[in-house]
Structure 1
Amino acid sequence: MKLLLLTLAALLLLSQLTPGSTQKCWNLHGKCRHTCFRKEKIYVYCTNNKLCCVKPKYQPREKLRSF
């Protein structure tokens, strides 16, 4: 009986720790979310109307214009 309770507790804990998969975007470098984290930027919207959040190292650099 104790083994059964221990097994159920472990399965319950593992089901809470594994996050659901998120849809990828921006050449597989971004993730579709409702809100982005602090340093992430939004460039496009995903097909499911969520924001495509991209980390700074994968964000495109702005070109400098010379006049």
Structure 2
Amino acid sequence: MKLLLLTLTVLLLLSQLTPGGTQRCWNLHGRCRHRCSKKERVYVYCVNSKMCCVKPRYQPKGRLWPF
């Protein structure tokens, strides 16, 4: 009985300690969020209608489509 209680306690703690993490976007350089931090910019939108917050150094330079 003590082993069962210990096992349940450990599983409960592990489920609380594991990071929830956010969905990754833009070749795994960005994160899908409702708000971007000061050092990030929005370049595209995620499938779940959140903004893909990417640091400027990972965004492509110049235009996407040459006109």
Query: 2:39 corresponds to which letter in structure 1?
Result: K
* Identity across the alignment (%): 74
Segment drifting more, 34-43 vs 1-10:
34-43
1:6 maps to 6
Unmatched 5+ stretches in structure 1: 63-67
Q: CA deviation at 1:48?
A: 1.4
CA distance in 1, matches of 2:55, 2:22: 15
TM-score (norm 2): 0.64
Paired residue total: 62
CA distance in 2, matches of 1:39, 1:46: 19
Q: 2:15 aligned with 1:15, yes or no?
A: yes
